[in-house]
Amino acid sequence: DGGITQSPKYLFRKEGQNVTLSCEQNLNHDAMYWYRQDPGQGLRLIYYSQIVNDFQKGDIAEGYSVSREKKESFPLTVTSAQKNPTAFYLCASSVDRVPQPQHFGDGTRLSIL
């Protein structure tokens, strides 16, 4: 079955540590996205990529980094510069750029130790 796989489901970060969240899709979609969701809040865009080897900052990119070396993969690194990383992170993909519907993964919940 085609879909988006995010791993791990739960992740804990120590102070000063960088962590990487994985996102893989087998939908053959060109565009991929990373969102952050805080309790009681909507989703906020961190980064997006419309094509391999290209990505753009979203609304809250500070403290995060991404890469897009393969069409299928769009990992997100939460760096130590992100002072409030505790959140639910969702990866999405779409056939092309918005306004095509985005398909979402199951998310990764990141917490601080």
Nearer to other proteins, 2 or 42 (CB): 42
Closest CA to 35 of 96, 94, 80, 112: 94
Q: Which stretch binds other proteins (CB under 8 A): 18-26, 56-64, 65-73, 74-82?
A: 56-64
If one counts every other C-beta atom within 10 angstroms of the C-beta of residue 10, the result is 10
Least separation, in Å, of the C-beta of 51 and other proteins? 11
Structure tokens belonging to residue 15: 């102070």
Q: Which stretch binds other proteins (CB under 8 A): 14-22, 50-58, 66-74, 75-83?
A: 50-58
Q: Which stretch binds other proteins (CB under 8 A): 17-25, 64-72, 75-83, 94-102?
A: 94-102
Contact (CB, 8 A) for 52 and 69: yes
